[in-house]
Structure 1
Amino acid sequence: MTEYNRTIMQASAVPTTRTVIRGATVLSMDGDIGNLVRGDILVEGSTLKAVGNDIEAGDAVVIDATGMIAMPGMVDTHRHSWEGQLRRINPNAETLEDYCNATHFSFAKYYRPSDMYIGNLLTALGCIDAGITTVIDNSHNSRTGAHSDAAVEALLDAGIRAVHASGAPISGEWDKAHWPGNLERLQEKYFKNEDNKLVSLAVMAQLEPELWAYARRLGLPIITEFFGGAMAAELEGLHSKGLLRPDNIFNHCTALPDAGWEILREAGVRVNVCPRSDAHYGIEDGMFAMQSAQRHGISPGLSVDNETSYSGDMFMEMRVAFYLQRVMGMHQQRCCGKDHHTVTLPAHSLLKAATIDGAACAGLQENIGSLTPGKQADLILLNAQDINLYPSGNAFGTVVHAAERSNVDTVMIGGRILKRGGKVLGVDSERLRAAIDESRDHLFAQAGYRPDMFAQTFMPLASSK
């Protein structure tokens, strides 16, 4: 146990030797395995052993999944987890500057290591609760080494699978002596530990070749907030020098011209798109880049980005993506004539984006993202008998168009059950809420912010610059 979690988190569940999940409707997201109206899943230790009908499981622990949908755990490929305690503080934000004023230019400057811990812990537990088993943690508030330690330890304590991308703060005073050298210290302290099988390290960096070179010497993926309209002109130079590679992960990719997409495809850059945040904050053209990416042979992951304005679940992300791409297609047809045909994505494709494509964006497609024997046992069970889902006329339609956090009955990560019967396990909820309240009180007081439950705009009293 760390100094941060002794009163909040209990010991992590130990995976049983063998578990069989029986009678579920199985959405494997594996082309060879396919889907089963009523099937079984055998888990041995942390690994998926078999998926099929009437699996012989001997003395395995049995989970009766009759009336449930079994599917891979979802992957959130871009989340600023440290902001967890600032949920919905700015619901009517209209611009990226509005978002920054409510995070980087105000509260971020006053985060203590304990605040980083609580933000990351709350986000990770919220992900687990919503059926997200893997998150790429974009941690661009690493003010000191202790802040970075706290962020990593929260992910470890929560039991989520994660890529922790350490990044420099955007505003305020911070310990510049620890960056970027802190990456080597983090790597040595946490990521060479054989007991840590869930969390890996990356770096957040903009288009900074020297920092990219340093990250590559350490073997770390490089995550960039990439806005195509403003930054596309730099791609050709980076590509010609061989600096764009498959270890690059680009967030957003809004308003990127075709030539830019061709460069990303040639270089093998991994991409995620943000249906809600791009629209909510009017980032460049305000439209997420799913169709553009698909048109150029790139299958991006989906990402929530943050919770300061909206919810943190992938179900809503898939729904917003579904409707936005339909609207975009209709708009392009009206603008470009009847001969213009835009391919819109069915529910299956959006679930693919939230699972196996997200795993590929995280560089984890060999381990997670589908219910494939040999992969890690990261899966969820949705209760399709719940009143909002029953009867289920189509399994993909049920998941993408109707399911929500409350329907997530069971969550398993690496063979460990972290949610069962609709309840996240191992959390002292009362003490967690107390720690969140203490953190918020500290941040609000330091930033000069007077909370208003009914405010239409975010307005800190202190200067936000």
Structure 2
Amino acid sequence: MVGSKLLPRDISTLPAPQTSKRMLLRGGAIISMDPQIGNLASGDILIEGDRIAAIGPSIQADDAEIVDARSSIVLPGLIDTHRHAWEGQLRRINPNAATLENYCNATHFSYATHYRPRDTYVGNLLTALGCIDAGITTIVDNSHNARSPDHSDAAVEALLDAGIRAVHAPGAPLTGEWDKSSWPADLERLQAKYASRRESLVTLAMMSQIDRDTWAVARRLGLRIVTEFFGAEMAAELPALQRDGLLGADNIFNHCTGVPEAGWEILHQSGVSVNVCPRSDAHYALENGMCAFQIARDYDIKPALSVDNESSYSGDLFMEMRVAFYLQRSAGQGRRYLGHQAVPDAITVQDLLEAATLSGARVAGLGDRTGSLTLGKQADIVMIRTDALNLYPSNNAFGTVVHAAERSNVDTVIIGGRIRKRHGVVLDLNLSRLEAATEESRNHLFEAVGHRPGPFDDSFIFQP
């Protein structure tokens, strides 16, 4: 068990939810991502408890708390389907990383081996709060540093304290000393303690490379399986996995770079869930450095988007949408310029927002709960103010969100009917205590590896 003395639990403390509360978002431009609802130039959304109760041009609800959504775009919360939240205090530790090895040296092979449960808590809390600040209401937490049951408890407690919707996927560390007896045996305990509560915002998955035994444990428990998947060597295992019935929609494959055409056909036939990493794949030189967004679409797979980590760059999903947009446009134009006949249609801002919402919810296994503004779904909603200098005038709602909005324009974030950010400020947060806890954790990790990066270092020089 993780005791309160091990964790700085007074950083972010949510009040008890009020399930009977009614809230009316009034007068916003609504992007619903639900074809049955459509989009409204000006409309209202009624929230009852944690659910969306009504959407329309004008809703009468005299007893509801009124949230003024005028001069705002109201849309579903963004969904990041692949985030290593435990690395929160390592933000931009290695901005010029040129390879996957550089990334691993700056995380797994150095600091990760010295993480205490409180470091996991701080990293996860900092990441989750940063996501909320940037309009991300759901993450799939790829926690591949689960060194003990206490570390896993700390990770989940941080997600709960932040108030974010999360799929927590603990995974075995890559190196160092850790409690091998707890993996994957600890999953059943975690499921009973946290994920069995239907009202909880946190559900459970497993992070594992291709391993038939651990995959069997996940499937016995009904958990989704998250795998870092790229390169010809991993792709070569797909035919046998398909033959043995070991691939399905409960598989979440990250990256998917370097997969040959035959492999993509197997992913399509098996219904494997795919997310792509526009910045990460280029930054860390995975295969040809091009994210698999378009090739997934070529095989009728709708990929989700993911940030991956913050050890080199920012944690917002707005940038992932933009990078994916321009990479796809650039690759298509390059083929057209060279005279190729098979050139994909140019991507649209609507396509990218779908990847960041609806497709993200499906990949996370949460399509019945979030991803669109749909009656009966949980109220995961973001309001973007359009009267700021960088957005005004907003002549196209989709274009404003995908091409121009940034964290500072996110006025309000609602998760499960609870307001987590309002008027541009994340609520229920003691920022000074968060900073103090982060500094304590970071200093511990720096001292543990005997390295203190300077503020102007251009590379991470630690070698294991």
TM bin, normalised by shorter chain, reads over 0.9
For residues 336 and 234 of structure 2, the distance between their equivalents in structure 1, rounded to whole angstroms, comes to 28
For 1:425, give the aligned amino acid. L
1:316 aligns with 2:319: yes
1:374-420: CA deviation from partner (whole Å, max 9, x where unpaired): 10000010001111100001100000000000000000000000000
Output aligned runs, 1:49-448, within 5 Å.
49-194=53-198, 196-335=199-338, 337-448=339-450
1:83-110: CA deviation from partner (whole Å, max 9, x where unpaired): 0000000000010000000000000000
Q: CA deviation at 1:340?
A: 2.9
Are the aligned partners of 1:13 and 1:416 in contact in 2 as well (CA < 8 Å)?
A: no
For 1:429, give the aligned amino acid. L
For residues 148 and 236 of structure 1, the distance between their equivalents in structure 2, rounded to whole angstroms, comes to 33
| CA RMSD across the alignment | 1.2
For residues 180 and 117 of structure 2, the distance between their equivalents in structure 1, rounded to whole angstroms, comes to 16
For the residue of structure 1 that corresponds to 2:131, the secondary structure is helix
For residues 374 and 108 of structure 1, the distance between their equivalents in structure 2, rounded to whole angstroms, comes to 41
For 2:188, give the aligned amino acid. E
For residues 237 and 384 of structure 1, the distance between their equivalents in structure 2, rounded to whole angstroms, comes to 51
1:117-154: CA deviation from partner (whole Å, max 9, x where unpaired): 00000000000000000000000000111111100110
Runs of 4+ in 1 over 6 A off after TM superposition: none
For residues 457 and 172 of structure 2, the distance between their equivalents in structure 1, rounded to whole angstroms, comes to 31
Which residue of structure 1 lines up, in the alignment, with residue 50 of structure 2?
46
Are the aligned partners of 2:194 and 2:200 in contact in 1 as well (CA < 8 Å)?
A: no
For 1:175, give the aligned amino acid. D
For residues 345 and 196 of structure 2, the distance between their equivalents in structure 1, rounded to whole angstroms, comes to 45
For residues 80 and 348 of structure 2, the distance between their equivalents in structure 1, rounded to whole angstroms, comes to 20
For residues 387 and 168 of structure 1, the distance between their equivalents in structure 2, rounded to whole angstroms, comes to 46
Select the residue among 17, 28, 35 that pairs with 1:24. 28
Select the residue among 8, 14, 32 that pairs with 2:11. 8
Q: CA deviation at 1:332?
A: 2.1
Q: How many residues align?
A: 460
TM-score (norm 2): 0.97
Runs of 5+ consecutive residues of structure 2 not aligned to the other structure: none
For residues 65 and 348 of structure 2, the distance between their equivalents in structure 1, rounded to whole angstroms, comes to 36
Q: 1:137 to 1:341 in 2, by over 3 A?
A: same
Are the aligned partners of 1:229 and 1:284 in contact in 2 as well (CA < 8 Å)?
A: no
For 1:440, give the aligned amino acid. R
For residues 47 and 304 of structure 1, the distance between their equivalents in structure 2, rounded to whole angstroms, comes to 27
1:350-384: CA deviation from partner (whole Å, max 9, x where unpaired): 00100011000001111100000110000010001
Could you tell me the percent identity over the aligned residues? Answer: 61
Are the aligned partners of 2:26 and 2:66 in contact in 1 as well (CA < 8 Å)?
A: yes
Q: 1:13 to 1:392 in 2, by over 3 A?
A: farther
1:240-265: CA deviation from partner (whole Å, max 9, x where unpaired): 11011111100000021111111111
1:267-314: CA deviation from partner (whole Å, max 9, x where unpaired): 111010000000111111100001000011100110000000000000
For residues 457 and 211 of structure 1, the distance between their equivalents in structure 2, rounded to whole angstroms, comes to 36
Runs of 5+ consecutive residues of structure 1 not aligned to the other structure: none
